[in-house]
Amino acid sequence: AQRSIKDQNLLLEQRVTERTALLADRESHLRSVIDNVPAMIAFVDADQRYGFANTRYQLTFAPGDRDLTGRAVCEVLGDVRYGIAKPLIERALQGQSTTYDWEPFPGVWQVIQYEPKFNAAGGVEGYYVLGTDITERRKMEAALRASEARLSRVLEGADQGYWDWDLQTDHFQVSARWETMLGYNPGEMKIDVTQWATLIHPDDLPKAMRAIEDHMTGLSSKHEFELRVRTKDGGWRWILTRGGIVQRSSAGVPLVMSGTHTDITRAKAHASELDHVAHYDVLTGLPNRRLLSDRLQQMILRADRHGWQSAVCVLDLDEFKRINDQHGREVGDRFLLGIAENVKAVLRGEDTLARLGGDEFVVLLSELGSAEAGVQVLERILDTVRQPIQVGEHHLSTSASIGASLYPADHADPDTLLRHADHAMLLAKQGGKNRYQLFDPETDRLTQLRLEQLHQLEEAMNLDEFVLFYQPKVDLSNGQVIGAEALIRWRHPERGLLSPGEFLPCLHGSDLEQPLGEWVIKTALRQIETWAAQGLDLPISVNVSAHHLMRPDFCDRLALTLGRHPGVRPSNLELEVLETAAIADMQKAVDTLNQCLALGVGFSLDDFGTGYSSLTYLRKLPVQTLKIDQSFVRDMLTDQDDLSIVQGVIQLAAAFRRRVIAEGVETMEHGAALRAMGCHLAQGYGIARPMPAADLPGWCRQWQRDGIWRSLCGGPGSEIDQRPSVEPLTQH
Ligand code: C2E
Ligand code: CA
Ligand code: CA
């Protein structure tokens, strides 16, 4: 048994030794592991002395020493570092786990963790220290922070907010500026993309979605658009958003989209203000000329496309100047406002009322079913303008004159349409105001042409391109040359010699008639003097247009002209007045003729027989001569009716004791017939064509020498037929 106890002891001892060796082995293994992890590990006891510190810890804080066991923490760390760690150490010794970052050496950062160790009774025996070097991580973080700070400074400087959209989760992250832009406090908005969409103005949402979709599907490399976003207080701000996909998966799937927001509300407001000033009239708020021109263009395009009728109308108030003068500018302005409102009220939504300035407005009527529909609107407008308007204590009223051009009847460009309407408006004014006038494209074309021609005629006058030709009048009974009719010609630099039929009709009724008529009279008077100086005493008749004759100062000016030619006997001047002109305003004609008679000049009624003047008129008119119209004379040898008229006129003249002369005597046969009927005064190609003044004295001598008239007594046509040489004396 003794042996067995001894054996047992031996065995036990052996086992203990083995265990101890095993434990030592394990400890050294653990120790080597702990020494080789890339972290600082230590244990500090309640007296703040190291119970243990691994190699890395010891190399970090006491590189010169071998073993820190038993050494005081304050001594190993040094005063400065201990000063920082002390409160945290104390907390650990009170049983709290503690973690902190610190910079024990310049440029070296560590995260330190204290973990208290409790004994069985719950008291704190000490604490474990775990330290990790985080210098690299810190450097990266610092760099990141710096770049973030830079980015936000840039964004802030540009007053931009930015946003981040996680396309996987639809999480939407925004910057503080993004929030304040919309009136929120920083950090207040926590929204996802669906909520974000509800803040977008419904009118702008489709545009925004389209832009983003285009970008997502690769149609655009970035997206950029303007939209209105609702603010916290329910208003709207204009935002310019720019963005794009900033992150994709390795398979190319978009992961994150981000971008910026800029508040462009002010710029937008400014732009729309500018737009308003540029396109609207300040007083009435109606479209101005510029916007009108856009609208007009649009109207024409639509009219062309849909085959609609449209109208451009110019409206001008008739009495606005009086109102303005009587009541002052302010009342005038308010009156205009009232008119604008009233007119607007009778128009439809698709029509446009614009103000060109002053009291001139333009109305565009589009989509008219017919011209009549347009006319009805014009009548409604005239009606509403006539309604009195109350301004202060005044009841003011006026009327309007409207000119309208209908499209496409007047198929012109916008400017021309407007000009035509304006032209028609002037006609409405001339027609007595308070009315509308439709523009007539055909009349206008002629007016244009006429204005052009008038201008050329004026030029011709200034350049002295007119001349008078003279056609002799003779007495067939004795061969005497009793006078000459002055007939105007235009020596046109390109077209040659033009007869009055080619340019006088254009002159009719114009202001140029008087100066030209006066030129003719003056030239004729000078011609009488010239011929008189050559020993030829010859009366001249000149044609006077009705318009010229009816001017109130006709006689006075004629008297003045005669006064400048004292050598001319007034009875040597005869005025030929168209019968039709004389009967248009009989009383006035009679007065004028009587005044001129008093000056000594004589009159003949030209183209007699064409004007159907009654015998009463003929008795009243103080004319000495009736001139049988050439149309009757020309055909009287073949046309019995014309012959009767010629006969009638001759008898009439005899009854009223007037001289009678036949014009258009083309052959001596005509001359003989006339003589036989009792009319021996004649003028016509059969005697002589109109000729330049210089040729006339020569012609007179020749005429006397030839003595053709003598043969007329011997019966119609006897000798004359063998004498074709009568005509070619002139050079037409
Ligand atoms: P009118 O006063 O009846 O003048 C006569 C016209 O008949 C002239 O035409 C003359 O050349 C033409 N004539 C003369 N004999 C004959 C003839 O035997 N056969 C035919 N077929 N024609 C003949 P003209 O010179 O072309 O003048 C045309 C009209 O122009 C004149 O008709 C007159 O009304 C107007 N006129 C001419 N000169 C003046 C003028 O100085 N002032 C004004 N206001 N009118 C004028
Ligand atoms: Ca005449
Ligand atoms: Ca005539």
Characterize 467-479 residue by residue with b for buried, 16 or more Cβ atoms within 10 angstroms of its Cβ, and e for exposed.
ebbbbbbbbbeee
From atom 8 of ligand 1, which residue's Cα is the shortest distance away?
A: 487
Atom number in ligand 1 closest to CA 513: 44
Answer whether 520 contacts ligand 1 (Cβ < 6 A).
yes
From atom 15 of ligand 1, which residue's Cα is the shortest distance away?
A: 684
> Which amino acid would we find at residue 654?
A
Atom number in ligand 1 closest to CA 469: 25
Say what the pLDDT of residue 491 is: 96
Q: Decide: helix, strand or coil at residue 110.
A: strand
> Which amino acid would we find at residue 650?
I
User: What is the rounded CA–CA span in Å between residue 278 and residue 294?
Assistant: 12
- Which two three-digit tokens encode residue 236? 């709207």
Query: Across-strand partners of 562?
Result: none
Minimal CA–CA distance to 396: which of 346, 345, 316, 325? 325
Question: DSSP states of 359-393 as a string?
Answer: TEEEEEEEEESSHHHHHHHHHHHHHHHHS-EEETT
Instruction: Note the ligand closest to the C-alpha atom of 684.
Output: 1
710 alpha carbon – ligand 2 mean position (Å): 26
Atom number in ligand 1 closest to CA 663: 15
- What pLDDT digit, counting tens, does each position of 156-196 carry? 777 788 888 998 888 888 888 888 889 999 888 888 888 88
DSSP conformation class of 287: B
Q: What stretches in the chain show pLDDT beneath 70?
A: 1-2, 581-584, 611-616, 713-732
390 alpha carbon – ligand 1 mean position (Å): 63
Residues belonging to the chain: 732
From atom 17 of ligand 1, which residue's Cα is the shortest distance away?
A: 664
> Sign (positive/negative) of CA torsion 673, 674, 675, 677?
positive
Say what the pLDDT of residue 713 is: 63
Answer whether 690 contacts ligand 1 (Cβ < 6 A).
yes
User: What is the rounded CA–CA span in Å between residue 487 and residue 469?
Assistant: 5
Question: DSSP states of 213-276 as a string?
Answer: HHHHTTS-SSEEEEEEEE-TTS-EEEEEEEEEEEEE-TT--EEEEEEEEEE-HHHHHHHHHHHH
User: What is the rounded CA–CA span in Å between residue 443 and residue 446?
Assistant: 5
680 alpha carbon – ligand 3 mean position (Å): 17
**Residues, CB-to-ion distance under 5 Å, ligand 2:** 543, 576, 606
User: What is the rounded CA–CA span in Å between residue 30 and residue 21?
Assistant: 14
DSSP conformation class of 66: S
From atom 30 of ligand 1, which residue's Cα is the shortest distance away?
A: 500
> Burial of 662 by CB count in 10 Å (0-12 exposed, 13-18 middle, 19+ buried)?
buried
Atom number in ligand 1 closest to CA 500: 30
Question: DSSP states of 336-363 as a string?
Answer: HHHHHHHHHHHS-TT-EEEEEETTEEEE
722 alpha carbon – ligand 2 mean position (Å): 30
611 alpha carbon – ligand 3 mean position (Å): 12
Answer whether 483 contacts ligand 1 (Cβ < 6 A).
no
Claim: this prediction has a pTM higher than 0.75: no
User: What is the rounded CA–CA span in Å between residue 349 and residue 352?
Assistant: 8
Answer whether 664 contacts ligand 1 (Cβ < 6 A).
yes
576 alpha carbon – ligand 2 mean position (Å): 6
Pocket test for ligand 1, best of 471, 476, 487 (most atoms within 8 A of CB): 487
Answer whether 671 contacts ligand 1 (Cβ < 6 A).
no
Answer whether 611 contacts ligand 1 (Cβ < 6 A).
no
602 alpha carbon – ligand 3 mean position (Å): 16
Instruction: Note the ligand closest to the C-alpha atom of 730.
Output: 1
Say what the pLDDT of residue 727 is: 34
CB 458 within 8 A of CB 516: no
User: What is the rounded CA–CA span in Å between residue 399 and residue 371?
Assistant: 23
- What pLDDT digit, counting tens, does each position of 116-152 carry? 999 999 999 999 999 999 999 989 988 988 888 887 7
- What pLDDT digit, counting tens, does each position of 660-709 carry? 999 999 999 999 999 999 999 999 999 999 999 999 999 999 999 988 88
446 alpha carbon – ligand 3 mean position (Å): 27
607 alpha carbon – ligand 1 mean position (Å): 10
- Which two three-digit tokens encode residue 440? 């007539």
530 alpha carbon – ligand 3 mean position (Å): 26
Phi, psi at residue 242, to the nearest 5°? Answer: -130, 135
Say what the pLDDT of residue 730 is: 35
